[in-house]
Amino acid sequence: MNAYRMKPLAFPWPPLIYGAALAVAFLLQAYFPLAASETDSLIATVAGSVLILTAIVLDVWAMRTLLDCHTTILPNRCSTCLVTSGPYRFTRNPIYLGYTLATAGIGLVMLNPWCLVTAIVASGLTSIVAIKREELHLLSRFGIDFERYCNGTTRWI
């Protein structure tokens, strides 16, 4: 394998990507407001709260699973083992999925439809900037075991 594949991300980009997505969504709402129906605000608030709570539970569960397996949480550190338990049984990127759900949930709670758009853009950017690189890193470290894991587990949902 190429030496560059042995290195994970040089910088933990995903939290910054999702933070920027939220900032852009609020700027877009300030300059190009999309009207949200007041009659649906209770439904949006409840749905957004459920998404945010789901995101928090998913992120904490994923981080706890990584810690229990004695590997790093940070995407710019080398993985010491391939984690396939906990939420990693269902998705290869539960933390990033949690970020996406939280961004969409914040948009619903704040009645800011731009958050839904920027959550989709942020997930695409995360796939390009972080996930592709992390998968090369995991493939170089764990080889066929990682390939088997990829064949049985989806990247997002």
Sign of the Cα pseudo-torsion (50, 108, 120, 66, in order): negative
Which residues lie below 8 Å from residue 89, measured CB to CB, with a gap of 6+? 153
Is 127 a residue whose pLDDT tops 60? yes
Whether residue 4 is contained in a domain is answered as no
Total domains in the chain come to 1
Task: Using the structure block, give the residue that is written with the tokens 């030496």.
Answer: 3
User: Which domain does 104 fall in, by range?
Assistant: 45-143
Yes or no: say if 64 and 87 are a contact pair by the CB < 8 Å rule: no
What's the angle, vertex CA 153, arms to CA 88 and CA 3, rounded to 5? Answer: 80
Is there a domain that residue 87 lies in?
yes
> Residue 73 falls within a domain, yes or no?
yes
Read off the DSSP letter of residue 91. Answer: B
pLDDT tens readout for residues 17-38: 999 999 999 999 999 998 766 6
- Note whether residue 6 is domain-resident: no
The model's pTM is 0.91
**What pLDDT, on a 0 to 100 scale, did the predictor assign at position 11?**
73
**The one-letter amino acid at 141:** R
121 found inside a domain? yes
